[in-house]
Amino acid sequence: MGENFRFPGIPVGWYTVATSSEVKPGQVVPVKYFGEELILYRTESGEAHLSGAYCPHMGAHLGKGTVEGENLQCPFHGFQFAGDGRCVHAYGKTIPRKAKLDTWPIREHNGFVFAWYHPDRTQPEWDIPVLPGPKEGWTKFRTRAIEVSSHPQETSENSVDVVHFKLLHGFGDAWYEGDLDVQAHLLKGAYGIKYIIPGTKISLMAKFKVEVHGLGYSLVRVQLERFDAEINLLVLSSPVDAENIILRTAASVKNWGPNLFTQLVREAASIGLNREVGQDAPIWETKRYLDKPMLAEGDGPIGEYRRYCKQFYPQQAEAKTAKLPVVAA
């Protein structure tokens, strides 16, 4: 797979590391993201934390550890660590000064646990939106996940590649509506589609408003004009390492008509989105990333999207700066 990827590494941003239901109070869950073995755990009060997997004392894997109140306890010698990584308990008279776990900033909302990634371990530069839920008259998100040999930049590029919707996904028609709007980390776009329900003559017209909040979080706000229904779709791409991702798709629907019907609409939206991702996956896994693609008329704002992506690779900017010649005064 390496020859097909030409990305500078894992882009800066927010990434989903679990659904909220996957880590219960008192539970310790080993995970792998960002090319590292990690530990996701939830304290007895309900706080989720993400840390490095190995105890700095003697290297035991904390996936076999336990949660003691608000702390993570090593299974080997009982060292305990607070959510910020500090060692708060050891069996000696003093705690080793450098006994500290690496930790990642966490946000949790809409049923997902998100972690902030930056290669220099800096604090978050932006936040991702909190979407309406049951209290605001929307369903909970229905989530599905697949593992794909790909990269977040590849999967997010679909947000601006409307042309492939007709051939690969079978939509009757698809078109752009207006230009892209780039505001620092946030990219906004809009498009429309016409879809014929298989086995019928019923056509659906839908308007899509896309928000890309960094390369790991894409929100699509859908308006089904025929039924006046509103749907929020999420495409969440999380790097296991530089060449593999876990791709989660999720759907939530604004309550509309009887509850059973609303749930059916949500399930149909979730299945449809997951099917489309399943159609994309073989392309992603076998395509070669081209730095300078031979774009054709109608391809849309691919170039603008790729320029937007460059901000998420500080390591690339630093490498270019390091190569600049030194000019003598």
Tens digit of each residue's pLDDT (9 = 90 or more) over 159-177: 899 889 888 988 878 888 9
CA angle 106, 139, 112 (to 5 degrees): 15
**Fold assignment, 7-117:** Rieske Iron-sulfur Protein (2.102.10)
SS3 content of the chain, % helix, strand, coil (to 5): 25, 35, 40
* pLDDT attached to residue 328: 44
Q: Residue 9 — very low, low, confident or very high, per pLDDT cuts 50/70/90?
A: very high
Q: Give me the pLDDT at residue 103, please.
A: 97
Beta strands in the chain (DSSP E): 13-19, 28-33, 36-42, 48-52, 66-68, 71-73, 80-81, 87-89, 103-104, 106-109, 112-117, 142-148, 173-176, 181-183, 186-196, 203-213, 217-224, 229-241, 244-253
At residue 183's C-alpha, the angle toward residues 182 and 188, to 5°, is 50
Using the predicted structure, report yes or no on whether residue 158 has a pLDDT greater than 70. yes
Q: Which two tokens stand for residue 31?
A: 């995970």
Query: Which CATH homologous superfamily contains domain 134-310?
Result: Naphthalene 1,2-dioxygenase Alpha Subunit; Chain A, domain 1 (3.90.380.10)
Burial class (CB in 10 A: 0-12, 13-18, 19+), 311: middle
Going by C-beta distance under 8 Å and a sequence separation of 6 or more, which residues neighbour residue 36? Answer: 52, 53
Q: Which of 213, 284, 287, 210 is nearest to 247 (CA)?
A: 284
Compare 196 and 289 and report the one with higher pLDDT.
Answer: 289
Instruction: Please state the three-class secondary structure of 51-85 as a single string.
Output: EECECCCCCCEHHHCEEECCEEECCCCCCEECCCC
Query: Once rounded to an integer, what is the mean pLDDT over residues 246-250?
Result: 98
Name the pLDDT band for 327 (thresholds 50, 70, 90). Answer: very low
What distance in Å separates the CA atoms of residue 111 and residue 256, rounded to the nearest whole number? 21
According to the model, what pLDDT value does residue 317 have?
57
pLDDT in tens, 39-80: 999 999 999 999 999 999 999 999 999 999 999 999 999 999
Tens-digit pLDDT profile for residues 211-220: 999 999 999 9
Asked if 100 contacts 52 with a C-beta cutoff of 8 angstroms, the reply is no
What is the rounded average pLDDT of the residues 117-125? Answer: 96
pTM reported for the whole predicted model = 0.92
If we measure between CA atoms, which residue out of 247, 316, 323 comes closest to residue 9? 316
Higher-confidence position of 116 and 225 = 116
Q: Find the mean pLDDT for residues 102-114.
A: 98
Strand boundaries in 44-170, DSSP class E: 48-52, 66-68, 71-73, 80-81, 87-89, 103-104, 106-109, 112-117, 142-148
Q: What is the mean pLDDT of the chain?
A: 91
Domain ranges in the chain are 7-117, 134-310
Q: Is 162 exposed, middle or buried (0-12, 13-18, 19+ CB in 10 A)?
A: buried
